[in-house]
């Protein structure tokens, strides 16, 4: 059967404003224009979300998509905007920043839920750095970009950024922005028609499960080195709260816990327990491992070879998303590059939470996605990143969930589709569309 595609409600709209020295005189007109656009959006009912970022040589977030929940708050913040200043104009760096820090679940983006992502760029000059790769990355993310430039801008550059000539708009000066109001509204009106084929449903405590597949294999990797002894109870409590959001009893989700220091030690595998009570009892009974140094690389390699495997209960071959949650309090003594890369190649999605004793760059290398590397001062502060963590998991599950295959097969006898297509029963059962042709 073909799943009906539901149109997402609302939009996530990010304004990227040229705040370089060259736009100082025109900034009030730019600010007024943003106010008028915000006034057309449905913020109060939760449909639309707004973020504003200013940039010159570097970007500066004025507020994120989840900073304000009312139109009045957004408008008050926009009215209070002050010109940033600075040079040169690095539009490429700003676009890259948006991808990694603004169009993310932790910053309020609802992209994983299929809400259209819209970027409105207003600029008065040519970019000093390259925009090709960052613009392409935003397109791949599904962001629809509308660019408005003055006569000081490069029209071809704006068209490259938008990927659609009709979405690159020109004015002589910023004071002429009201003249393109109707043109911008016309483009914006087409945005809600863009839809996503995956519709998530929320179960448990804000933990998102997608309709296909409806399961997760979740592995917790806990730093049990000497340095985390005092913070271990807080780490254990955090794991309990996460397990409590999962659907273990109905067989949808599986959980494993591994502790490590100089070497890893499996507390239980993905197929050790089949009920939530068993998992929670085991987590409550965890004792700090101890030991040093902290070899995160060796632990990641161990997971790849011994935990994310079918014999240990991993359902990766069946397309079930594999999620690793690393909680650590220090820097790794050994190299994490190759083991982290190997897990990514395996399709494992990693979310890392580190303390001030950790290396943020190391955690970002492990996750491969800056927004999935979270920070706390101490392990006792873990509850403070609960919401950010849940948003990251939501985005992560969306990204690692494979699209359902389209199966083209022949109908010899209805129960012989498997033989005719050369497909497994699982593949046929998971197919979103089956086109049946009569065998000659």
> Checking DSSP bridges between strand 216-223 and strand 322-328, what pairing results, if any?
parallel
How many Cα atoms occupy the beta-carbon half-sphere of 145 within 13 Å? 30
156 against 184, higher pLDDT: 156
Cα dihedral sign for 420, 421, 422, 428?
A: negative
pLDDT bracket for residue 179 (50, 70, 90): confident
Q: Tell me if 100 sits within 8 A of 370, measured CB to CB.
A: yes
235 against 172, higher pLDDT: 235
pLDDT greater than 90 at residue 60: yes
**CATH architecture entry for 202-400:** 3-Layer(aba) Sandwich (3.40)
pLDDT greater than 90 at residue 98: yes
Quick count: other Cβ atoms within 10 Å of Cβ 401?
22
Measured CA to CA, the distance from residue 152 to residue 123 in angstroms comes to: 9
| pLDDT given for residue 214 in this prediction | 57
Q: Within the chain, which residue ranges are assigned CATH 3.40.50.410?
A: 12-193, 202-400
Averaged pLDDT, 249-257: 91
Q: DSSP letters of 69-119? A: -SHHHHHHHHHT------SS--HHHHHHHHHHHTSSGGGT--GGGT--EEE
Measured CA to CA, the distance from residue 321 to residue 401 in angstroms comes to: 6
Buried b (16+ CB within 10 A) or exposed e, 19-54: bbebbeebbebbbbbbeebbeebebeeeebbbbbbb
pLDDT greater than 70 at residue 168: yes
| pLDDT given for residue 167 in this prediction | 87
Q: Is the peptide bond before 213 cis (omega within 30 degrees of 0)?
A: yes
Of all residues in the chain, the percent with pLDDT exceeding 70 is: 78
Least trusted range by pLDDT, from 18-32, 121-135, 181-195, 340-354: 181-195
Contacts of 218 (CB under 8 A, 6+ apart): 242, 246, 253, 254, 255, 256, 323, 325
Distances from the Cα of 289 to the Cα of 20, 90, 229, 257, 278, angstroms:
53, 48, 9, 13, 21
| pLDDT given for residue 54 in this prediction | 96
| pLDDT given for residue 191 in this prediction | 53
Beta bridge partners of 143: 117
Mean pLDDT, the chain, as a whole number? Answer: 79
Averaged pLDDT, 198-227: 61
| pLDDT given for residue 106 in this prediction | 83
Least trusted range by pLDDT, from 167-171, 228-232, 261-265: 167-171
| pLDDT given for residue 190 in this prediction | 55
pLDDT digits (tens, 9 = 90+) for 103-143: 988 888 988 777 889 999 999 999 999 988 888 888 888 88
Least trusted range by pLDDT, from 39-43, 190-194, 366-370, 377-381: 190-194
Q: Tell me if 157 sits within 8 A of 18, measured CB to CB.
A: no
Quick count: other Cβ atoms within 10 Å of Cβ 365?
16
Averaged pLDDT, 208-218: 56
pTM of the model: 0.48
pLDDT greater than 80 at residue 21: yes
Measured CA to CA, the distance from residue 51 to residue 74 in angstroms comes to: 8
> Checking DSSP bridges between strand 348-354 and strand 373-375, what pairing results, if any?
parallel
pLDDT greater than 60 at residue 413: no
Question: Tokens representing 168?
Answer: 């690159």
| pLDDT given for residue 111 in this prediction | 83
Contacts of 200 (CB under 8 A, 6+ apart): 112, 113, 114, 208, 209, 210, 211, 394, 397, 398
Least trusted range by pLDDT, from 131-145, 258-272, 343-357, 408-422: 408-422
Q: Tell me if 306 sits within 8 A of 266, measured CB to CB.
A: yes
**CATH architecture entry for 12-193:** 3-Layer(aba) Sandwich (3.40)
């Amino acid at each position: 059967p073909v799943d009906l595609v539901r149109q997402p409600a609302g939009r996530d709209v990010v304004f990227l404003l040229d705040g370089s020295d060259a736009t100082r005189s025109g900034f009030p007109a730019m600010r007024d224009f943003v106010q008028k656009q915000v006034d057309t959006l449905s913020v109060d009912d939760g449909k639309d979300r707004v973020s504003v970022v200013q940039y010159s040589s570097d970007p500066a977030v004025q507020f994120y998509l989840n900073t304000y929940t009312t139109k009045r708050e957004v408008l008050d913040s926009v009215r209070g905007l002050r010109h940033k200043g600075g040079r040169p104009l690095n539009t490429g760096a700003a676009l890259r920043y948006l991808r990694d820090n603004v169009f993310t679940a932790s910053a309020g983006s609802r992209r994983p839920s299929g809400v259209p992502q819209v970027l409105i760029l207003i600029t008065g000059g040519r970019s000093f750095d390259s925009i090709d790769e960052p613009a392409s990355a935003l397109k791949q993310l599904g962001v629809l970009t509308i660019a408005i430039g003055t006569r000081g801008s490069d029209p071809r550059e704006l068209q490259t950024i938008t990927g659609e000539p009709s979405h690159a708009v020109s004015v002589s000066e910023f004071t002429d922005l009201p003249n393109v109001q109707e043109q911008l509204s016309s483009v914006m009106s087409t945005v809600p028609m863009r839809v996503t084929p995956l519709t998530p449903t929320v179960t448990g405590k804000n933990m998102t499960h997608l309709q296909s597949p409806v399961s997760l294999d979740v592995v917790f990797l806990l730093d049990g080195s000497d340095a985390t002894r005092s913070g271990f109870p807080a780490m254990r409590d955090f794991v309990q709260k996460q397990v409590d959001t999962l659907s273990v009893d109905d067989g949808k989700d599986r959980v494993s816990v591994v502790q490590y220091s100089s070497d890893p030690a499996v507390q239980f595998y993905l197929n050790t327990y089949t009920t939530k009570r068993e998992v929670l009892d085991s987590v409550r009974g965890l004792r700090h491992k101890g030991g040093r140094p902290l070899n995160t690389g060796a632990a990641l390699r161990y997971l790849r070879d011994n935990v994310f495997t079918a014999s240990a209960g991993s359902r990766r071959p069946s397309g079930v998303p594999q999620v690793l949650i690393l909680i650590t309090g220090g820097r790794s003594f050994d190299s994490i590059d190759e083991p982290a890369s190997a897990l990514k190649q395996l399709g494992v999605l990693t979310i890392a939470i580190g303390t001030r004793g950790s290396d943020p760059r190391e955690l970002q290398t492990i996750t491969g996605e800056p927004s999935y590397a979270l920070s706390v001062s101490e392990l006792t502060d873990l509850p403070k990143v609960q919401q950010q963590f849940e948003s990251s998991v939501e985005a992560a599950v969306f990204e690692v969930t494979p699209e359902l295959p389209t199966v083209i097969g022949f109908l010899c006898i209805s129960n012989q589709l498997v033989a005719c297509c050369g497909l497994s029963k699982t593949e046929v059962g998971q197919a979103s569309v089956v086109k049946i042709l009569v065998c000659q």
